[in-house]
Chains A and B, each alone.
Chain A
Amino acid sequence: MKKGTAKRDIRYVRYLIVTLVLLLLFAALIALNIGIGSIKISLGDVLKAGTIEYDILWKVRLPRMVAGIILGGALALSGFLLQTFFNNPIASPFVLGISSGAKLVVALVMVFVLSKGSTVNSATMVLSAFVGAMLSMGFVLLIARRVKRASVLIISGVMIGYICSAITDFIITFASDESIVNLHHWSQGSFSGTSWGDVRVMAIVVLIASVFTFTLSKPIGAYQLGEQYAQSVGVNIKTFRIILVLLSSILCASVTAFAGPISFVGVAVPHLIKAFTRTSKPHIVIPLCFLGGAVFCLGCDLIARTVYAPVEMSISSVSSLFGAPIVIWIMARRVARD
């Protein structure tokens, strides 16, 4: 009995350590993101109004950084929800083609609106991304209904992603000159050019969706034991599945609308969090996923904008470099275990 209690105490110590390490990384990355760039800014400049540094910081770097935090968290949660839904550790908005679907509809709307000479506001962007995400999700669900094999689902998702990206490329190539630059940049995935107005919209959408996700911890925990056991302890499976689909699509849509598709964060972060905490308890994993996603995206964005400064890399290139090996690791471990 005593041994058991000690073992459980160790578990909580581990959760605490993982949280502290993430918070430390988070703080360090915030400091680095403020300081590093084409102009060096010291932390003391944050409050010195009137200087160029102050302007760069408050108009460029801070909104971009906050966007990275919010959207990184959203991506990781969206991935976690999809992994729960499909009971598949590699499911994520990017792998299943949901980001690409969102990207396609946003590109369509943007080209159409820009050709009329007006501009697109951020709420419209989120809405069109949501429509696109739901369309892709619809396809994925249709396939999932017909074939039960997880590998087929993933391959179909990747193909849907390619099809959507190809159509997006066609649209962008034929778009009028002045909108191309913006569109092209966005469709590669980037946090650059985020305004405080964008941040406000994404903060509202993502925070509401994230808090709602946390309140689903209880049914998610039961669902991990399988649909039938979840139903037998009182989870309303139909409603629960619909909510999971809607929430993951909303979270993925807000990311795509503002930053374009960002690859592999949705798989890598939940996996790393579970590996470090050695638990899949939603109460623990959901908040840590959000924090982990924020850290991951802050780190990737820092690399994306500094390695070849002043030229920026797309954030997807950086996140793939770190995320894709993790996916291979997950699959290799699974095959080894089965």
Chain B
Amino acid sequence: MEYFFKTENLTVGYDGKPIVNNIDVSIKKGQILSLIGPNGSGKSTILKSITKQLKVIDGVVFLSGSPINDINSRDMARRAAVVLTERPKPELMTCGDVVAIGRYPYTGMLGILSASDKEKINEALCLVNALDLKDRCFSEVSDGQLQRIMLARAICQEPEIIILDEPVSFLDIRYAVEILDILRRMASERGVTVIMSLHELNYAKRVSDRVMCVKDGYMLHLDTPEAVFTKEIISRLYDLSDGVYAELFGGL
């Protein structure tokens, strides 16, 4: 079985203090993995570690067979793109300028965009239905538009894997579904692997191929959405009483 993304005995945390221990996960090319779990369980820490923003404490992360520590920063940037929770606040940049940063690993020394770079920027903007925002000032767009621009930025980096930290929090249902549909399409049509943390369980169920449950420093479960979204597992993951589960997720 060929896995595109794989971790072996991965322990992540800050300043040598582990937050999540012994994660073993492997997903295939073009699959979507969602991380769910209570606030502060370490989902973001895991995402930061697999994108090399944070040094791993123990274990190895593999990207198509090679440990990420052996991949240089340019190659890493050509393979993995991120969408973070923090809202960037660049001064006087248009949405097109922001998306263009995605071409960074492909441009030359001075970062001049070629005709094909510009084409890729337009293509990415089209994919997220935001071509009309290209010349708008980035600091003036709404939350939903902002998230589409950030996704376009990641797409135009032409990555093999996109890693997103809570991509649909703060978005109303229309924008949230739109973002997740784009990711689903990227995964099935272009074989892009997706790893993201999600707070909204109904979305996680709808979009994921695999779901990872994180709690109390460990990965509790890793399975298909059908297997994970059961009363027992979800109640235990979020410490819910039976009544609450039925009330909230009766329809799941």
Chain B binder among A168-176, A191-199, A243-251, A278-286: A278-286
Q: Contacts A228-B84, A280-B91; is A218 near B77 (CB within 8 Å)? A: no
B135 surroundings in chain A (CB, below 8 A): 4, 7-8
Q: Mark A209-230, 1 if CB is under 8 A from B, else 0.
A: 0000001011001101110110
Instruction: Determine whether the beta carbon of B91 is less than 8 Å from that of A89.
Output: yes
Given contacts A233-B157, A234-B73, contact A228 B109 (CB under 8 A): no
B110 and A215 form a contact (CB under 8 A): yes
- Interface stretch (choices B3-11, B98-106, B185-193): B98-106
Q: Report A-chain residues with C-beta under 8 Å of the C-beta of B51.
A: 232
| Complex: chain A residue closest to B80, CB-CB | A232
B174 at the interface (CB under 8 A from A): no
Are A218 and B97 in contact (CB-based, < 8 A)?
Answer: no
Q: Mark B83-116, 1 if CB is under 8 A from A, else 0.
A: 0101010111100011001101101011110000
Cα-based distance from A233 to B78 in the complex (angstroms): 8
Interface residues of A in 261-280 (CB under 8 A from B): 274, 278-280
On whether the beta carbons of B88 and A229 are closer than 8 Å, the reply is yes
| Interface residues contributed by chain B, number (CB under 8 Å) | 33
Given contacts A229-B88, A233-B102, A234-B77, contact A280 B110 (CB under 8 A): no
Type the 1/0 row for A151-181, where 1 means its CB is closer than 8 Å to any CB of B.
0000000000000000000000000000000
**Contact yes or no, B101 A225, CB < 8 A:** yes
- Inter-chain contact B77/A233, CB cutoff 8 Å: yes
Option from A8, A225, A236, A279 in Cβ contact (under 8 Å) with B98 = A225
B65 to chain A, nearest CB (A): 21
Interface size class of A (residues with CB under 8 A): 20 to 34
Q: In whole angstroms, what is the CA distance A120 to B17 when docked?
A: 53
B74, B80, B91, B111: the one contacting A274 at CB < 8 Å is: B91
Is B196 interfacial (CB 8 A cutoff)? no
Greatest chain A CB density within 10 A among B105, B107, B110, B157 is at: B110
- Inter-chain contact A218/B110, CB cutoff 8 Å: yes
Q: How far is the CB of A39 from chain B (nearest CB, A)?
A: 45
Query: Do residues A225 and B90 form an inter-chain contact, with CB atoms below 8 A?
Result: yes
List residues of B (12-60) whose CB comes within 8 Å of A's CBs: 51-53
Give A309 to B2 CA distance when docked, in angstroms. Answer: 82
| Minimum CB distance partner of B100 in chain A | A221
Most B CB contacts (10 A, CB to CB) among A224, A279, A280, A283 go to A224
Flag if B86 contacts A233 (CB, 8 Å).
no
Q: Please tell me if the beta carbons of B80 and A224 are within 8 angstroms of each other in the complex.
A: no
> Which residues of the partner chain B approach A4 to less than 8 Å between Cβ atoms?
134-135
* Contact status A234-B105, CB under 8 Å: yes
14 contacts between A and B (CB under 8 A): A218-B110, A225-B93, A231-B52, A231-B73, A232-B53, A232-B81, A233-B105, A233-B157, A234-B73, A234-B76, A234-B104, A279-B93, A280-B92, A283-B111
Name the 5 nearest CB pairs between A and B, nearest first: A218-B111, A234-B77, A233-B104, A280-B92, A234-B73
Besides the known contacts A218-B110, A225-B98, A283-B111, 19 further A-B residue pairs in the complex with CB atoms under 8 A apart: A7-B135, A217-B111, A218-B107, A218-B111, A221-B101, A224-B91, A226-B86, A228-B53, A231-B52, A231-B73, A232-B77, A232-B80, A234-B73, A234-B76, A234-B104, A236-B73, A280-B91, A280-B93, A281-B97
